[in-house]
Structure 1
Amino acid sequence: MVRLTRAQQQQRTRAAVLVAARQEFAQYGYGEAKIDRIAERAELTRGAVYSNFAGKRALYLAVLADTAERARLDAEPPPEPPDSVAGALGAFARVWLERLPLAGDTPGSGHLQLRSLSGVVDTEPARAALAELVSLEALLLALALEPDTALRTRTVRVAGLALTLLHGAAALAENAPGAGDPFDLARAAEHLAGISLSNDAEPAHLAYVGPARPAEDEWAAPHGLRDEIDGRRVDLDDDGVVVVLGVRRLSAADEAVRSARRRDKVTLVVVTSDPAEIGRLARLRIVDLVACLRRVFAAGELPRLRVVFDDGGTVAAAVGQGSVDDFTEVAVRVRDGLIVARADGRGAGHAVAAGPVRPRKAVEPPPRPGAS
């Protein structure tokens, strides 16, 4: 008989809890689900469930995040990607709307199908984080819509309007399954590409952001991280800009991306003081969005922004941020294995990305043999 290690046994227990929880939430929805029934379904004790998840909310978010991750892994790019912003918005809407429950669906299956957060996001920190996540989702969609041009405020706003339309349709369909014609909604999303909006303008506070501080510190790049956009390992040894943002400052990612040079590699590192719940909420939303993007856009058209979740705080520590919370905002520029610029506080990403870049160090040739 093979004896499992403690880590293997914990992994098996966690998997059993997720399977049981998925069945419970599908049958009863979030509000009526019970931890006792989940434990019974998994043939475990109530304590075993709580040893892996802090509570019902954390467990529900874990189930949804696991569902979104599976969808991302299964997502395949289209044979012919859209050739216009309008076409891309329509295609994205059609993929996104597949989650809407149909007439006759039970409330429970509709909740899981919708990635419903009804009754889940019921605290001020979670609501504030969700608002910031919507801003980040709009940024990521905008970067996919126009991958070969400089980021425009108008495109981000159009992407935000499209997401508002889709989330509104989802909220209606959750309470009235079958309401709203998906084809009409997709056509409406297409028309947003031509909507008249005011001219681009920089956020007013950027005029008051001070310059980044020059530095020459060793960069101990953390390893074992994953880019949530393409699912691959992230190599932070590369030259570029690293921006660490708490979940209540994620809208500042727009400033960093807009200010960065065309060839800069920009990495957004998401941190939170509550990884069990708000961290899972953030991961769910981003992974779910990426799963849709990957079915609409070719791999080369996915957002060039790299997104990393730093639950262990390793990246934050590497940039010199001893502790993090939901309002953290710190950025560094990395070049030749050194941190060459730093900034923290409001506008940190903009300050580092827009600041001057020192020239590379000249490499001195080795001395000639016999030279004195």
Structure 2
Amino acid sequence: MVRLNRAQQQERTRASVLVAAREEFAEYGYADAKVDRIAERAELTRGAVYSNFTGKRSLYLAVLTAAAEQARAAAGPPPASPADAEQALGAFARVWLERLPLAGDTPSHGHLQLRSLSGVLTGEPAREALAELARFEALLLALAIELHGTLRPGTVRRAQLALTLLHGTASLAESAPGVGDPFDIARAAGHLAATPLTEDAAPPHLPYVAPASATRTDWQPPRDLVDELTGLPVDLAEDGVVTVLGVRRLSAAADMLHSARPDDALTCVVVTGDPAGTGRLARLRIVDQVACLQRVFAPADLPRLRIVLDDSGTVPAAIGLDPADDLAEAALRCRDGLITARAEGRGAGHAAAVHSVRDDRRP
């Protein structure tokens, strides 16, 4: 008889709870699901469930995240990237729309299939986090459809519009499955690439951001960090800019992207003070977006922004920040294995990105 160690036993328990929770949510929906029934399905005590998950919302987000991670793992590389922005938006929409429930699906199963958050998120922190994640998803999509180019005027707005169309379609499908032709919607999303929109102006606060503080500090960044887009290891000491952002400040990644040098390695480290809540929400939405992007774009054409999901707070702790802050905003410029500049507060990514090589030499 094989004896499991404590970590293996906990992993097995978590897996059993997730299977049971998915069955419960598929049968009863989020609102009517019960943790006690989930424990019964998993043949565990209620206490065993709560020792691994903080509550029903945490369980639901974990079930959706597991589905998104499975979709990412199953996604093979596309034969080639789309030829232009119209094809890219259309292809992305077709992949995204595969989650729409069929007309015969039950409402509860359709809710899961859509990875819907309707009625799940309550309170301003969670709503703010979702809004920031939506902006971040649009930024990632915009970077991808430019196919390694510089963001052109209006690209981020077109990406936001395309995602609004897709999420609106999903919302309708929850109450009226089968309404609307997914192929028509995908074509409409593609046509948004040519829609004239106002420019994506640089954030208005950037001219007023205080300069980064020059330094020459040795540091040993945490190891075993992985880029969610490529699955490759991330070395934060590589020449470039590292922005550390709480889930409720994710849209500030645009500050770094607007100001970075073409040869900079750019990394966004996502941190949270609530790993089971906003942290799991961030993982769900980012992994889901990445899974779609990976099915549309060749690896070389994915956004050059590296994304690290740091649920444990190791990166902020390494640079002296509070690791439990959903509103964190700090940035480093690294060169030759040293931290040569650091900034905190609004516009930190911009301040670190524009810090000059001449400033790097200051003691």
State the one-letter code of the partner of 1:318.
A
Q: CA deviation at 1:153?
A: 4.8
Q: CA deviation at 1:359?
A: 8.8
Q: Which contiguous aligned blocks of 4+ residues in structure 1 show a shift greater than 4 angstroms?
A: 358-361
Q: Tell me, yes or no, if structure 1 residue 242 matches structure 2 residue 256.
A: no
Alignment of 1:143-292 (within 5 A): 143-292=143-292
Q: Within 1, Cα distance between the matches of 2:199 and 2:218? A: 42
- Which stretches in structure 2 are left out of the alignment for 5+ residues? none
Report what 1:297 is aligned to: 297
Q: Greater CA deviation, 237-246 or 351-360? A: 351-360
State the one-letter code of the partner of 1:131.
A
State the one-letter code of the partner of 1:57.
R
Report what 1:142 is aligned to: 142
CA shift digits 1:48-95 (9 cap, x unpaired): 000000000001101110110010011112223310100110011011
State the one-letter code of the partner of 1:152.
R
Q: Within 2, Cα distance between the matches of 1:206 and 1:200? A: 14
Identity rate of aligned residues, in percent?
68
State the one-letter code of the partner of 1:157.
R
Q: CA deviation at 1:152?
A: 3.3
Report what 1:335 is aligned to: 335
Match of 2:99, SS?
coil
- Which stretches in structure 1 are left out of the alignment for 5+ residues? 362-372
Contact 2:214 2:359 in 1 (8 A): no
Match of 1:66, SS?
helix
Q: What's the TM-score, normalizing by structure 2?
A: 0.96
CA shift digits 1:297-317 (9 cap, x unpaired): 111111110111111111102
Contact 1:319 1:332 in 2 (8 A): no
Q: Within 1, Cα distance between the matches of 2:209 and 2:235? A: 29
CA shift digits 1:139-192 (9 cap, x unpaired): 111111113222235111111110011001101101111112111111110110
164 and 101 in structure 1: CA distance in 2 versus 1, 3 angstrom threshold: same
Q: Within 2, Cα distance between the matches of 1:26 and 1:280? A: 20
Report what 1:20 is aligned to: 20
Report what 2:352 is aligned to: 352
State the one-letter code of the partner of 2:273.
S
Match of 1:249, SS?
helix
Q: CA RMSD in A?
A: 1.4
Report what 2:87 is aligned to: 87
Contact 1:244 1:316 in 2 (8 A): yes
Alignment of 1:24-35 (within 5 A): 24-35=24-35
Report what 1:313 is aligned to: 313
Q: Within 2, Cα distance between the matches of 1:356 and 1:49? A: 52
Report what 1:52 is aligned to: 52
Q: Greater CA deviation, 233-242 or 334-343? A: 233-242
Alignment of 1:59-78 (within 5 A): 59-78=59-78
Contact 2:272 2:313 in 1 (8 A): no
Report what 2:7 is aligned to: 7
194 and 110 in structure 1: CA distance in 2 versus 1, 3 angstrom threshold: same
Q: CA deviation at 1:273?
A: 1.1
Q: Tell me, yes or no, if structure 1 residue 116 matches structure 2 residue 113.
A: no
State the one-letter code of the partner of 2:86.
A
Q: CA deviation at 1:344?
A: 0.5
State the one-letter code of the partner of 1:76.
G
219 and 41 in structure 1: CA distance in 2 versus 1, 3 angstrom threshold: same
Q: Within 2, Cα distance between the matches of 1:108 and 1:199? A: 41
Report the structure number with the largest CA radius of gyration: 1
Contact 1:228 1:306 in 2 (8 A): yes
State the one-letter code of the partner of 1:156.
V
CA shift digits 1:275-329 (9 cap, x unpaired): 1111000000000011111111111111110111111111102222144411110
Q: Within 1, Cα distance between the matches of 2:286 and 2:199? A: 28
Match of 1:341, SS?
strand
Q: CA deviation at 1:233?
A: 2.1
State the one-letter code of the partner of 1:233.
P
Report what 1:40 is aligned to: 40
Q: CA deviation at 1:13?
A: 0.6
